[in-house]
Amino acid sequence: MTQRPSFNPAPRHTTPTLRSATPRSPLPPRPSPATTSPSPAPARPSPSATTTKPSKTRKPSRFEAPVRDFLTYCKVECGFSPATLAAYAGDIRDLWVELAQLGHTSWEDLTHEGITEHLRGLRDSRGLELSSIARHVATIRVFCRFMHTAGVIEENPAELLEQPETWKKLPTVMQDEQVQKLLSAPQPSDALYLRDVALLELLYAGGLRASELADMDTTAIHFELGVCRVLGKGSKERLVPIGRPALRAVQRYLDELRPDLEKPAVSGERIFLSRTGQPITRVVVWQVVKRHAARVGLKDIHPHTLRHSFATQMLAGGADLRVVQELLGHSNINTTQVYTHVDRSRLKEVVNRFHPRP
């Protein structure tokens, strides 16, 4: 059974335990009563008569170095986020494992047919959705192109690999009354009431991602200007206007609750802290949103739902698509265009206004 490789450290290859074929020597005979000199101490067994210890040296894998170089390139040169790097590493690991199980020893053994079989297995054996398979395809294509450029492989086996067409699902959005129910869900009796109110208000007011909110520090919000500085995907920075309700909620949290939660040794400059003073993670943001949504009877609500609702309501109110793209931090306007298909009332209004025979 092939051992599942890992990127760091490399897979270990231990030497199997060897047992000597030398038979055990019998116990020394008891000395006779007439013997006055003590019997000599038994000699130490020779190394060949003992069990050898497993070797602690590890044999580097020929799969590993190109993967390390690729992930370093993605991090340093492309500025990809840790989440993107983790996704790339997981996709490549799946391919690595399959090649190793088939007896291959390096990326030079990778072929177009092998990639096709791997992708078919993701669908048939693991039951992945087409959107997940499309991400694997994108990862394999860019990884193979990197190896070909770096001279690791002579030919690019993914050069003719086509990206599968996926249906774009319309995002789930909340109505205005649902948003208000969620924002009013925290109760004053809650221990972290002020934090949760500020978290929900800021998440919705700026259309922020959960990771962007969790990573925000105390210097990111400019109360006098009414904007916050957001560090998005690829370490791209943008300024997002924030409404007065959210600014008031954050200011109150910073004044009244955060000083009690803060522990200088662990808190740092992050705005949102846990009960223990640790900076919260995007998982905690997700949990806070889910918990308060369940409290007011809202289902299938997560942080990105607030982001979808922010974008949809901005467009419905007449905001320009390019402006919404900048606010959301989308590098491609096609990503933002999906929100134009959500608000059917906006489309009907445009037809009634501009069509010659409405």
**Contacts by 63-69, CB closer than 8 A, 24 or more apart:** 63/5, 63/96, 63/99, 63/100, 63/105, 63/106, 63/107, 64/5, 64/7, 64/10, 66/107, 66/146, 66/147, 66/150, 66/152, 67/7, 67/92, 67/96, 68/7, 68/8, 69/146, 69/150
**Contacts by 282-286, CB closer than 8 A, 24 or more apart:** 282/209, 282/210, 282/211, 282/213, 282/214, 284/214, 285/199, 285/203, 285/210, 285/213, 285/214, 286/210
**Secondary element (H or E) of residue 238:** strand 237-241
> Distance between terminal CA atoms of the chain?
69
Angle ∠(186,189,195) on CA atoms, nearest 5: 50
Contacts of 63 (CB under 8 A, 6+ apart): 5, 96, 99, 100, 105, 106, 107
Q: How far apart, in whole angstroms, are the C-alpha atoms of residue 158 and residue 166?
A: 19
The residue behind tokens 């044999």 is: 59
Task: For residue 332, count other CB atoms closer than 10 A to its CB.
Answer: 8
User: Which residues does the annotation mark as catalytic?
Assistant: 209, 233, 304, 307, 330, 339
Copy the structure tokens of residue 96: 């690595």
The edge-to-edge listing of strands for the beta sheet with 227-231 is: 221-222, 227-231, 237-241
Nearest-10 crossing angle of helices 112-124, 130-150: 160
